[in-house]
Amino acid sequence: MIKILDSKNKKFNKTLDVLLSKRKNKVQLNSVSVIKIIRDVKKNGDKAILKYEKRFNKNSIIAPSIKQINRAIQSLDPKVKKAIDLAYDRIYKFHSLQKFKNISYTDKLKNKLEYKYVPIESVAIYVPGSTASYPSSVLMNAVPAIVAGVKRLVMVNPGQKGKQNPAVLYAAKKCKIKEIYSIGGPSAIAAVAYGTKKIKKVDKIVGPGNSYVAAAKKEVFGDVGIEGMIAGPSEVTIVCDKFSNPEWIASDLIGQAEHDNLAQCILISKDKSIIKKVNDEINNQLKEIPRAAIAKNSLLNNGIIIHMQSDQKIINTVNKIAPEHLELNTKNYKKVVGKIKNAGSICLGKYAVMAMTDYNVGSNHVLPTNSSARYSSGVSVNEFYKRISYINLSKKGIYTLGPSVITLANYEGLAGHAKSVEKRIRRK
Amino acid sequence: MIKILDSKNKKFNKTLDVLLSKRKNKVQLNSVSVIKIIRDVKKNGDKAILKYEKRFNKNSIIAPSIKQINRAIQSLDPKVKKAIDLAYDRIYKFHSLQKFKNISYTDKLKNKLEYKYVPIESVAIYVPGSTASYPSSVLMNAVPAIVAGVKRLVMVNPGQKGKQNPAVLYAAKKCKIKEIYSIGGPSAIAAVAYGTKKIKKVDKIVGPGNSYVAAAKKEVFGDVGIEGMIAGPSEVTIVCDKFSNPEWIASDLIGQAEHDNLAQCILISKDKSIIKKVNDEINNQLKEIPRAAIAKNSLLNNGIIIHMQSDQKIINTVNKIAPEHLELNTKNYKKVVGKIKNAGSICLGKYAVMAMTDYNVGSNHVLPTNSSARYSSGVSVNEFYKRISYINLSKKGIYTLGPSVITLANYEGLAGHAKSVEKRIRRK
């Protein structure tokens, strides 16, 4: 069912490039209609928001009441609550380790330089919700913000007719999010970016969404912060060998493919027999899941199986693909992993499966897609800090370093810069 | 000459908002013409680049020869070379302190989680150059990249008729940049973002530029990385008291104002007499610099002097302005600085002047403008790393955590995710 390529083939690199860019072009953002919506919300505020809510979500409220929230949470299965609690604890623990140390440095001239991590004041988390509900997305975005010390956390999550998912609300409560809005789409992004009467604007917006939400985030970027990447349809690349369990590998590929018609599943192996076994298994297992149609569609259109001849070729190809998730399901993963430069998150060994990392292992599941792992990273505490430099110069400092600054400033044609230093040196 | 506001005035907050947003609107990006240029370069490559180079820079080459580079460098004043060397050393030292430690953590279930900082493979640095030449910009962008370990560093810097500035070339040589292109504007951004026959594409583009370059960077973002902010016209906010030297403060404001007609200079003080003295000094000192017309224009249009009644009001106002540069030129700066949350870089005390930090103090001068200090930071080593999570689960790990993942995955409607975990637990 899945396209099979062989790297021995002369045209392999070109064929792979064409396949990868074909998908990339499909996930282009729609920005024209999005710009109109953003302008409307900027101009007409809450009125515009309610207009779009009625049109797209059959919803007529902007924010649920505390009563509504609590009633929804009470309806939630305690088993799900416990699972959310466990995930929260483990995500909290691993992200706490990522906290930064401030730097303070005094040089020989007694100039003091500091470099501090200051939490962003206010952040909105966009949690998608119309066709599915993702409590895990709440945790993956909110927990790092809590660890960093963000004071004002806002959740934007569209409901069905205003009713939001109980587990999403429970996760938000767990994260002590007090501002919850039951709105969605580009208008919700505009609301938190520019503010309305009911919604105070924030400093940064994070969280996944469909292509309209992603386009809206790109559009408002500059007026408000967003992640250093555009999160798109999910991806996994799995490298396996003759020791891998084909049943497991097939289920990993299907687990990824069920996300979205545009999900990307790639399997790479040096072993032809495991490739055949996995391929057969996929056909068997597709029958087992409710979202089989999506998974099949995704595998047919964007799935690729690659037979390769060497680890070096595998490394190069993975670095070119720059997958969101990488599973190195091989015996020799230690030999390979150090050379992988481009991947959002890397699962090592036979038990580490993408689905585990999506929930409660502790690492983050908001990861760079569409090759953006070349230059960006998953959400982490880093996303919620600003880094500020503090400079305190001594008299000796400016007398020693100043003349050199005067030279450079004058060279750059900035005499005013030079003067501001000169005046401090030639004191009256 | 500069507008003076008093925070006692009831309309103060509104007036300040209007002034700030008036300037903000002036620095909007021009994107329509930029999109056309980008499409052209994507389609026609080097041919399109040369077309725009001829039109805008009277230039007919894409890259200078090594001979040309060395000849230019030989012509450079040794005093300027020395000043660049000193700045390089100090920037290198302070940025080295910012390096991150990788994290490795094994939990009680013997699951091993790692979190590593991996340098971005290839980065292009845009150095503006048509009306002025900034060797300091080369250092501020390239040195953190070198510290992070970026392998392929590319410099894009437009010249006049192909001839680039000797100091820019010297700084590039100092940073061991081997790929130098003498092109500029949106077409140059497109070239490094998408690649041409002569220019291999990069993973990330950093560095300042005019509004066309900034618009181009925003446009290509997603296909390539950019900084987490759009760098626009420069800004300083200075807080001073009765102990401040009015001559120095005036020179600091002028030093900032000479950058650009859209530069923003704001002075805040509780002391009315220093406000008057600084204002008088500005008029005197404007005569002293060649770029007086620009400085005057900038101060007239975007300069604001604010008389305030309390430190708390000053703190709130600075946090609202979120200036690129902040100078706390007051005796009591220690009481105030901890409450400043939004600023790119903060100078403390009487000797710390913005111009010093622009060159050789060691901190970075590529800083967030236009209020983006609310959510973003100056360039640092952080800009040149990706952060990757590595997950290795034990058998006990997946057996213990797996059931909870199965619960959440099924709740989220992702049965395929649940199955990939189940299969590893219920082993055949």
Q: Tell me, what's the pLDDT at A210?
A: 84
Query: With a CB-CB cutoff of 8 Å, which residues 175-204 of chain B face chain A?
Result: 203-204
Q: Tell me, what's the pLDDT at B428?
A: 46
Query: Which of A77, A203, A411 lies at the smallest CB-CB distance from B374?
Result: A203
Q: Tell me, what's the pLDDT at B130?
A: 65
- Contact partners, residue A20, CB within 8 Å, separation at least 6: A320, A321, A371
- Nearest CA-CA partner of B414 in A133, A80, A84, A167: A133
Q: Within 13 Å of residue A157, how many CA atoms lie on the same side as its CB? A: 27
Contact A201, A211 (CB under 8 A): no
pLDDT tens across A97-106, in order?
A: 999 999 999 9
Contact B23, B161 (CB under 8 A): no
Pairing, β B264-269 against β B304-307? parallel
Q: For CA atoms B158, B160, B162, B166, give the dihedral sign.
A: negative
B239, containing H or E segment: strand B235-240
Contact at CB, A135 and B375, closer than 8 angstroms: no
User: What is the set of domains in chain B, with CATH numbers?
Assistant: 3-27+232-361 (3.40.50.1980), 32-230 (3.40.50.1980), 393-425 (no CATH)
- Contact partners, residue B316, CB within 8 Å, separation at least 6: none
pLDDT tens across A203-256, in order?
A: 999 998 888 998 999 899 889 999 877 777 899 999 999 999 999 999 999 999
Q: Tell me, what's the pLDDT at B30?
A: 67
Q: Name the minimum distance, in Å, from the CA of A401 to any CA of chain B.
A: 7
Q: Tell me, what's the pLDDT at A150?
A: 98
B305, containing H or E segment: strand B304-307
Instruction: Inform me whether the C-beta atom of residue B213 falls under 8 Å from chain A C-beta atoms.
Output: no
Pairing, β B152-156 against β A264-269? unpaired
Is the ipTM of this structure higher than 0.90?
Answer: yes
pLDDT at A416 over 60: yes
pLDDT at A29 over 90: no
CB-CB neighbors (< 8 A) of A125 in chain B? none
Q: Order of strands across the sheet with B122-126?
A: B179-181, B152-156, B122-126, B204-206
Mean pLDDT, rounded, for A88-109: 96
Q: Tell me, what's the pLDDT at A228?
A: 77
Q: Tell me, what's the pLDDT at A320?
A: 96
Q: Which residue of B has its CA nearest to A343?
A: B388
CA distances from B128 to B206, B207, B219, B260 (A): 11, 8, 18, 14
pLDDT tens across B260-298, in order?
A: 889 999 999 999 999 999 999 999 999 888 889 999 999
Contact at CB, B404 and A341, closer than 8 angstroms: no
Residue with the bigger pLDDT between B345 and A291: it is B345
Contact B239, B336 (CB under 8 A): yes
Contact B366, B207 (CB under 8 A): yes
Contact at CB, A121 and B343, closer than 8 angstroms: no
Q: Name the minimum distance, in Å, from the CA of B391 to any CA of chain A.
A: 5
Does residue A365 have a known ligand-binding role? no
- Contact partners, residue A65, CB within 8 Å, separation at least 6: none
Contact at CB, A413 and B290, closer than 8 angstroms: yes
pLDDT tens across A63-82, in order?
A: 999 999 999 999 999 999 99
Query: Which of A228, A360, A391 lies at the smallest CB-CB distance from B357?
Result: A391
- Nearest CA-CA partner of B230 in A193, A222, A196, A339: A222
pLDDT tens across A308-323, in order?
A: 999 999 999 999 999 9
pLDDT tens across A376-410, in order?
A: 999 999 999 999 999 999 999 999 999 999 999 99
Query: Which of A120, A291, A419 lies at the smallest CB-CB distance from B251?
Result: A419
Mutate to test the interface with B, among A93, A236, A342, A387 (most CBs of B within 10 A): A387
CB-CB neighbors (< 8 A) of A352 in chain B? 391-393
Instruction: Inform me whether the C-beta atom of residue A414 falls under 8 Å from chain B C-beta atoms.
Output: yes
Contact at CB, B348 and A391, closer than 8 angstroms: yes
Mean pLDDT, rounded, for A353-367: 96
Locate all alpha helices (DSSP H) within A75-131, ordered by sequence: 78-96
- Nearest CA-CA partner of B302 in B247, B206, B237: B237
Instruction: Inform me whether the C-beta atom of residue B120 falls under 8 Å from chain A C-beta atoms.
Output: yes
The per-residue pLDDT of chain A, averaged, comes to: 94
**Tens digit of pLDDT at every position of chain B (428 positions):** 799 999 999 999 999 999 998 888 776 666 788 999 999 999 999 999 999 999 988 899 999 999 999 999 999 999 999 999 999 999 999 999 999 999 999 999 999 999 999 999 999 999 988 667 899 999 999 999 999 999 999 999 998 777 899 999 999 999 999 999 999 999 999 999 999 999 999 999 999 888 899 899 988 988 999 987 777 889 999 999 999 999 999 999 999 999 888 999 999 999 999 999 999 999 999 988 888 999 999 999 999 999 999 999 999 999 999 999 999 999 999 999 999 999 999 999 999 999 999 999 999 999 999 899 999 999 999 999 999 999 999 999 999 999 999 999 999 999 999 999 999 997 54
Contact A174, A192 (CB under 8 A): no
pLDDT at A428 over 60: no
Instruction: Inform me whether the C-beta atom of residue B97 falls under 8 Å from chain A C-beta atoms.
Output: yes
Mutate to test the interface with B, among A224, A328, A419 (most CBs of B within 10 A): A419
Contact A236, A259 (CB under 8 A): no
Active site amino acids of B:
324-325
Identity of the residue numbered A348: L
Q: Tell me, what's the pLDDT at A30?
A: 67
Q: Tell me, what's the pLDDT at A263?
A: 92
Instruction: Inform me whether the C-beta atom of residue B170 falls under 8 Å from chain A C-beta atoms.
Output: no
Does residue A259 have a known ligand-binding role? yes
Tell me which of A53, A95, A307, A325 is the catalytic residue.
A325
